[in-house]
Amino acid sequence: MKKSLLIALIFTACTAVSPVSIAGTAQAIKMSSFNLSSQKWQNRVLLVFAPSVDNHSYQQQMQLFNQHQNGFTDRDLVLVQVLATDKSYANGQLIDESSAVKLRNRFGVDKQNFRVILVGKDGSVKRQDTTPVKATAIC
């Protein structure tokens, strides 16, 4: 009897830390919606569209931006990463899939394309690039 109880406890402990359990916990994190118009007159929005985090252009772009993260905050710049096969983020906060789809549709960016779009505080597109851009050109 003691042996079967020990096996049950071990099984329960292993299940609690298994990838399935961790993935289930991650899904429980609340995703927020991202509305571009709510940023108008408050922030500039830098949209980075890519197929996935594995995309070479995306990786290059994020390396360039990571070097100037403080400059983004100083200039009221919100970084939105819209990824087709991975989760999307606005300033590091998870955004829901419907927000990502709306952004792709609004700017006509296909899931397989890389694009960087800068939206000004007035809501208009100020810059659009299909290759990685230096942060100094944005800030």
Predicted confidence (pLDDT) per residue in 85-139, tens digit: 999 999 989 999 999 999 999 999 999 999 999 999 999 999 999 999 998 888 6
pTM to 2 decimal places: 0.75
Return the structure tokens found at 104.
């792709």
List C-alpha distances in Å: 116 to 60, 82, 122. 12, 10, 18
**pLDDT confidence band for 9 (50 / 70 / 90):** very low
Question: 3-state class of 48 per DSSP?
Answer: strand
**pLDDT confidence band for 15 (50 / 70 / 90):** very low
Return the structure tokens found at 39.
């940023």
Q: Please name the residues in contact with 134: beta carbons below 8 A apart, sequence gap of 6 or more.
A: 64
Q: What percent of the chain has pLDDT over 70?
A: 75
Q: What is the mean pLDDT of residues 21-40?
A: 64
